[in-house]
Amino acid sequence: MFKGSIVAIVTPFKNGKVDEKALGELIECQIANGTDGIVPCGTTGESPTLSGEEHGRVIEITVAAVNKRVPVIAGTGSNSTEEAIQFTKHAYKVGADGALVVAPYYNRPTQEGLFQHYAAIAEATPLPIIVYNIESRSAVNIETPTLARMANIPNIVGVKEASGKIKQMSDVIRTCGSDFCVLSGDDAFTLPLMALGGHGIISVVANIVPADMAALVDAFFAGDLARARELHHKLMPLVDAMFIETNPAPVKVALELMGKISGDVRLPLCRLTEANLAKLKNTMLNYGLI
């Protein structure tokens, strides 16, 4: 259902508020450069510091701007099951094509609690759901047997795998079947995951090089492994730079250096140190972006 290079788009801010004009321009740039889907209000979109009103508005803007040209997979996760249900219902109401639902963070539910959380969200709305498994941020790993149970729920259609464990990714693909959409949650694992049978990437680096990430994915699915490998190695220094500090601070500064948005993030995130800014600039210069 969802495949290819999908961007986890940033939420640009201006004078402390969502910069709606800049967001629309970023979306147009993504579509023009071959991006296969847009994820608003994910981690890269700073969903934890968006108000409920802002969260809903960002999804509405994205759906309207995309206008069905590519799928919109709205970030609707929360560590409160009821809040996640409300976010997901809103995304369905305004026309999103899917929901990306992160594992509940901080409360550290059991595997049974995780299953019941996702089952409740899936029951509340017909929207296709992508589970987002990222232990480094949620403090819980969705184990493969639990995910396989979720895959039996008709509108839980896939997973964004950001466990960082290639064996777990392989186990998920083998266990959940070819119809279950497995997307990488780490840019560095895009090519390895697709080689195992994955369907693509929900990408951070695509915010600044959408054409190259799209070309990598397209080359792989066209059978041009040499070209996909070439693009993988080309992208890796830039991918590393995107995580020189906590995402999305580096990618927003990169977009600022490219003249696209303000690099502002919301506390408790903050702007890059001077040393890391210099490293980021050097990487971007070497890549030819600035």
pLDDT digits (tens, 9 = 90+) for 53-74: 999 999 999 999 999 999 999 9
Active site residue 132: yes
- How far is Cα 144 from Cα 103, in angstroms, rounded to an integer? 14
Length of the chain: 290
pTM of this prediction? 0.96
Within the chain, which residues score under 50 in pLDDT? none
Active site residue 252: no
Angle at 202 between CA 290 and CA 128, to 5 degrees: 145
Residue at token pair 């509405």? 60
At a CB cut-off of 8 Å and minimum separation 6, what does 122 contact? Answer: 129, 153, 154, 155, 156
Ordered by start, the domain boundaries in the chain are: 4-224
- How far is Cα 242 from Cα 253, in angstroms, rounded to an integer? 10
DSSP, res 133: E
Of these residues, 3, 92, 160, 252, which one is catalytic? Answer: 160
pLDDT recorded at residue 243: 96
Fold classification of 4-224 (topology level): TIM Barrel (3.20.20)
Q: How many CB atoms lie within 10 A of CB 64?
A: 13
pLDDT recorded at residue 1: 77
Q: What is the DSSP string of 168-216?
A: HHHHHHHHH-TTSEEEESSGGGHHHHHHHT--EEEESGGGT-HHHHHHH
Q: How many CB atoms lie within 10 A of CB 166?
A: 13
At a CB cut-off of 8 Å and minimum separation 6, what does 98 contact? Answer: 1, 2, 71, 72, 73, 74, 127, 128, 129, 130, 157
- How far is Cα 224 from Cα 194, in angstroms, rounded to an integer? 13
Of these residues, 132, 165, 252, 287, which one is catalytic? Answer: 132
Report helix angle 225-241 to 210-221, nearest 10: 150
Cis bond upstream, residue 104 (ω within 30): no
Pull the structure tokens for residue 54. Answer: 């802002």
